[in-house]
Structure 1
Amino acid sequence: MSITLPTNFPTGDRRTVRIALPPVLDPLHNPTRAPMPPMPVDMALRIARSVLEKYESASIHDHMAMLCAATELEGSLRDVLAALDTERAA
């Protein structure tokens, strides 16, 4: 995929520049794709504990560290809840 952009050069020339774009990546959320089945509870808990351990010494003043920790911990919490819901339903 590519796009064409008009460009003004310092010399005053006006030309068109063609830019190649990278292939579209898989979107984060695709409602048409079937969700993956939840993992077992013990595996979800093990992963959540490892994420907690990974970020236990992160500085509260480091914005990127807090953002990364929050993102990974949210994903781990969702995995644990999905595993518990599946186990409870069985």
Structure 2
Amino acid sequence: MPERQVSLQELESDLDSYIHAVENGATLVVIRDGSQVPRIIPETDSAERTRAALRASLTIDWSGRRLKSGRPSMGLRDCGSASDIIISECR
């Protein structure tokens, strides 16, 4: 959903309907004295939007499925795994 700009006075006078709009996916930009004050976004939308942006920029490539536990797929040459080195340093 696109961003909607709303004045602080409008937001205060009809807060309930604006909260419902945000719950339904809208992003609100609150304007006071001609300047943007806060941006109100849906709680769950931010994580989803971040993942989508990372996928779109080819920064990540992940199906969203849970990763399998087990041996590390990569280790350090002749040193074991990175976690083994960290554990030995802590002792």
Q: TM-score, normalised by structure 2?
A: 0.23
Quick check: which one's helix share is greater? 1
Q: TM-score, normalised by structure 1?
A: 0.23
